[in-house]
Amino acid sequence: MNKPMLKTRLKYIAPIVLVGIFLDQLTKVWAVSALKGGPRYSFLADTLRIAYAENIGAFLGLGNNLPPQLRFWIFTALVGLFLMGLLVYLFIGKDVDTISLVALSLVFAGGFSNFIDRAMNEGAVVDFLNVGFGGLRTGIFNVADMYIMAGAALIIAGHWFVSKKSN
């Protein structure tokens, strides 16, 4: 895989990050204004549920029961440091190919948008989406979480594709 130069990296990173943050924040503003304190909605034979929630923990509420100061240090301060490091790596990392650049930009966009929530919403992230069939359901999530999961899936798929191609 080709290693992109700085100008090329910026052409990938900027639109992914800006669009990701914009879409996530826009949907969260909508969720707060339209869903907070309101009813839950169900679509596609209850496959998609839309309801307002605030998550003070991590993925699937992990860490919800931690003391507030510890949650701040883990989910805001440490995540903020991780995101700064990831952004630096995106721009100057020597082992970043195009697939990794796109994948890690997706992870950064989602992580940074959720970081904005934590910083502006007393450590909570706005969630409002849930999918599933019957009792088999996902946790409640948001657009930023979809970006993070898409980036993680692309990292795995990209690694698999590159290893298959080299064999």
The residues carrying an active-site annotation are 127, 145
Count other Cβ atoms within 10 Å, centred on residue 116. 16
> What is the b/e burial string over 1-34, where b = at least 16 CB atoms within 10 angstroms of the residue's CB?
eeebeeeebeebbeebbeebbebbbebbeebeee
Which residues 6+ apart lie within 8 Å of 73 measured at CB?
A: none
